[in-house]
């Protein structure tokens, strides 16, 4: 009886050669894996000791119709600075609420030469919109003094549609972290970062947002943060306004000193 060892040795050599050829040729008929290309990530400024991140709001906005057929007062203007003084026309402004907080204790009132906000509940997002005009390219600037805890958000809003289901929102946490959202029946983050130029605590800050064609340019206290180009949503016109939001501590009180609606340079 002949030994099987020479045959087994020959078969083993064939198997080794076959495996080597398969490795060199990519495994024969086995399909190669597609190359996954990540979307480019924009590098943002470094923040020293960034605050603990607060979960982003996820509540979907119910349809909110801003009444455009309401009478426009003789004092209404398209480009101007609203100083919220004795000439402030409250009927030109409309507000609505998001978040899970109860608005029973919400206070919005004109005092001296500013508009006073006391949110009165946690997780409450108050949108305050200028109703007489719709804008396309626009520059918005808001000056506000924090009088409560250092745990709130101040936002600027441009190009909100008449149904209140789409807009751009530049939202700044009191700790220095900021977000840019394209709200489309939900918050879609299209930019974020941090800044050391925000004055924290009971301090006064100026927020600026320019909506020009497909670009959103963001500033804090006259320091430019970034430019974000949006080619996905591209909301081209709508109402403008601002937002004051509470998170998870109280009290949240702010004085809005002025709000400017201007033509971008």
pLDDT digits (tens, 9 = 90+) for 14-38: 444 444 444 434 444 333 333 333 3
Q: Structural domain tally of the chain?
A: 1
Q: Kindly state whether residue 73 falls inside one of the protein's structural domains.
A: no
- Residue 67, domain member (yes or no): no
Report if residue 252 sits inside a domain. yes
- In this predicted model, what pLDDT tens digit does every residue of 81-112 receive, in sequence order? 999 998 899 999 999 999 999 999 999 999 99
Q: List the domain range (segments joined by +) for residue 243.
A: 80-262
Task: Establish if 50 belongs to a structural domain.
Answer: no
Residue 35 within any structural domain of the chain: no
19 within domain boundaries: no
Mean of the pLDDT values across residues 146-158? 89
For residues 26 and 194, the model is more confident at 194
Is the residue at 204 inside a domain?
yes
Which CATH number is 150's domain given?
2.60.120.560
Of 261, 256, 245, 152, whose CA–CA distance to 205 is shortest?
A: 256
pLDDT > 70 fraction of the chain, expressed in percent and rounded: 71
Q: Is residue 235 part of a domain?
A: yes
């Amino acid at each position: 009886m002949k030994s099987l060892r020479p045959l087994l040795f020959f078969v083993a050599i064939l198997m080794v050669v076959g495996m080597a050829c398969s490795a060199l040729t990519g495994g024969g008929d086995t399909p190669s894996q597609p190359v996954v290309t990540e979307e480019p990530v924009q590098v943002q400024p470094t923040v020293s000791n960034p605050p603990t991140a607060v979960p982003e709001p996820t509540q979907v906005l119910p349809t909110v119709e801003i009444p455009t057929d309401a009478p426009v007062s003789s004092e209404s203007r398209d480009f101007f600075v609203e100083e919220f003084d004795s000439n402030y026309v409250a009927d030109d402004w409309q507000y609505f609420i998001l978040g899970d907080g109860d608005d029973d204790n919400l206070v919005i009132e004109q005092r001296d030469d500013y508009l006073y906000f006391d949110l009165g509940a946690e997780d409450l997002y108050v949108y305050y919109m200028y109703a007489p005009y719709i804008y396309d390219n626009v520059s918005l600037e808001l000056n506000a003094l924090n009088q409560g805890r250092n745990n709130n958000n101040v936002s600027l809003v441009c190009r909100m549609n008449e149904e209140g289901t789409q807009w751009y929102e530049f939202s700044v946490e009191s700790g220095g972290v900021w977000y840019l959202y394209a709200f489309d029946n939900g918050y879609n983050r299209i930019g974020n970062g941090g800044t050391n130029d925000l004055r924290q605590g009971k301090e006064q800050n100026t927020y600026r947002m320019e909506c020009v064609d497909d670009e959103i340019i963001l500033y804090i206290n006259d320091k430019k943060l970034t430019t974000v180009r949006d080619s996905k949503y591209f909301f081209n016109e709508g109402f403008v306004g601002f937002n004051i939001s509470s998170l998870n501590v109280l009290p949240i009180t702010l004085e809005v000193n002025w709000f400017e609606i201007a033509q971008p340079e």
